[in-house]
Amino acid sequence: MEKYSCIIIDDEPLGIELITDFVEQVPFLELKKTFSKPLEAMAFLQENPIDIVFSDIEMPRLTGLDLLETLAQKPYFIFITAHRHFAIDGFEKGAVDYLIKPIRFERFLKAANRVKEQISPLNNLNTKPIKTERIFIKSENKFIKIVLTDILYIEAQGNYLNIVMHTSAHQTLSTLKAMEEILHNTSFFRIHRAFIVNTDSIQSLNGNIVQLSNGKTIPIASNKKDLLYALLGLN
């Protein structure tokens, strides 16, 4: 089994002990080092390639958010915090996930698996990002440029994706998992096993339903609701 290297950063010894125990229970994680001082972690990361960083946010002298910004080569960050509102800042700076204290192992494992999916090679990509502002997809035997801000939502339809925009739609042979990787660190969020939405196109939320600017309503998966609300600053 392929293993992914990780480190833990937390100024509280009990926090390090808990995450260490969690990491040791996950077969694909390999703990390289733990740090109680973020400045020492920063120096280590500047010299050593690491796949995943589990980092507390609120720490003396250098916060986890500030640490992420200092790195030229950024590992996948999963932030740990007692305050849900910090999660928004984390996502804006490129974090993959966040864990709210007290942390349950099931939630930790979910975050670890999310990173694993993003690190693992994607064999079904039909497109590659050129810039975060646009992508090219293959549709009807030609490559078509899609400006990301024009996309309202993306729907899985069998082996194809239906990319719906304000005035048009295109189909391409691909998977939502592949598209998630392409759209990483953008305004897009997978709210359901069959849908990725442009969060900028959301006009309203009512329980487990979002309504987009074109009137389309899309269900929110139960395991995605809290994260979506946090991304939108609603929790």
CATH number for the domain harbouring residue 174 = 2.40.50.1020
pLDDT of residue 129: 37
Residues 115 and 138 in one domain: no
Which domain range does residue 15 map to?
4-119
Answer whether residue 48 is part of any domain: yes
Answer whether residue 209 is part of any domain: yes
How many C-beta atoms surround the C-beta of residue 65 within 10 A? 20
- Residues (pLDDT < 70) of the chain are 1, 84-93, 120-132, 185, 235
Residues 56 and 92 in one domain: yes
> 150: which residues sit within 8 A by CB, 6+ positions away?
165, 166
End position of a domain, from candidates 67, 94, 119: 119
Residues 147 and 115 in one domain: no
End position of a domain, from candidates 88, 119, 150: 119
pLDDT of residue 92: 58
End position of a domain, from candidates 85, 119, 153: 119
CA–CA gap between residue 138 and residue 207 (Å, rounded): 36
How many C-beta atoms surround the C-beta of residue 165 within 10 A? 18
Which tokens hold the place of 133? 């502002």
Answer whether residue 127 is part of any domain: no
CATH label of the domain that carries residue 103: 3.40.50.2300
Residues 172 and 207 in one domain: yes
Answer whether residue 193 is part of any domain: yes
CA–CA gap between residue 136 and residue 139 (Å, rounded): 9
pLDDT of residue 127: 39
Query: Which candidate, 15, 77, 18, 70, places its Cα nearest to that of 51?
Result: 77
What is the model's pTM?
Answer: 0.53
Answer whether residue 76 is part of any domain: yes
Structurally, the chain folds into a number of domains equal to 2
